[in-house]
Structure 1
């Protein structure tokens, strides 16, 4: 069975698009705008997903419901270039720590989503994206 996919041109991942598959690694390019509800529900083997760094892209808290093994969320796109452009090294280091924090958060985050608005891996990823964006705005302002 297929364990890894790379979809650089995908724009929308529909509801239950990969539900119950044996995927372990999924990579999307910067064209991705939205991941719909339950897109990866029941993907118990999923360990790593690479997505563009966009707020609001994950539309529901149940996107990764029952994805207990999801441990890494890697960001694609301009984020690292933006961080590299920060003038002060202290700011850059703080931002890189914030970016890396998701890989410490995800392994211990429950794979909830159904009936849990503020829990689960999808919520953790969205909260993390917003936190990084707030820091970028703070440092650039």
Structure 2
């Protein structure tokens, strides 16, 4: 059976123990309890959102005491990440970042297929989710740095354009009326003010398209 739980957010412990599930779609799930899908021997494929703490873990347990049993006894060989993660990856500034994230996301299926038993797959999926979360947060931080640098460059470009325009007007006026004394600092101040207005328009209408979801 292929089942999609479109609105299910919390799956209680042992909720679907030993069923005939073959494919599972959990687009809105926030937490999966202990042994939630234990002994579903026909379960091969699951679709889940990117959440570092998707599987319930006793907050008092240390690393040596964590027992990952949500999918114990399931022969999962394919995991699909669903949600906004793919849009975020495609919006990353550098192609190398996008390629690295795509490789990290796809790595889970190679790992499940080649390396781990049905008793270990929950732990493998949990480690993978945490790794993907950590890496995408790193690249989002780097992307934000690039965006801030672009904002500065836009501001400087607008300021330079306004200042050049003002200088041209002043040169024309000086040619016509040589006795008029131009206050350069006032001109620069006015250019900065005009630039600020233009910058507000860019920040409001352009830069949001470059931000990550």
Q: Do both proteins adopt the same fold according to a TM-score greater than 0.5, normalized to the shorter chain?
A: yes
Distance 2:43 2:36 in 1: 12
**Aligned pair 1:83/2:89, yes or no?**
yes
Secondary structure in structure 2 of the residue aligned to 1:5: strand
Equivalent residues of 2:77, 2:109 under 8 A apart: yes
TM-score, reference length from structure 1 = 0.88
**Aligned pair 1:46/2:43, yes or no?**
yes
**Aligned pair 1:11/2:1, yes or no?**
no
Distance 1:16 1:87 in 2: 43
> Structure 1: which 5+ residue stretches go unaligned?
113-119
* Structure 1 residue 18: Cα displacement: 1.1
**Aligned pair 1:23/2:21, yes or no?**
yes
Structure with higher strand content: 1
Which structure would you say has the larger RCO, counting Cα contacts within 8 Å and 6 or more residues apart? 1
State the Cα deviation string for residues 86-125 of structure 1 (Å, max 9, x = none): 011111011100000001111231121xxxxxxx111111
Q: CA RMSD of the aligned region, Å?
A: 1.1
| Bigger CA radius of gyration | 2
Structure with higher helix content: 2
TM-score, reference length from structure 2 = 0.59
| Regions of 4+ moved over 3 Å | none
Which runs of structure 2 are paired with 1:57-68 in the superposition (5 Å)? 57-59=54-56, 61-67=68-74
Distance 2:133 2:21 in 1: 29
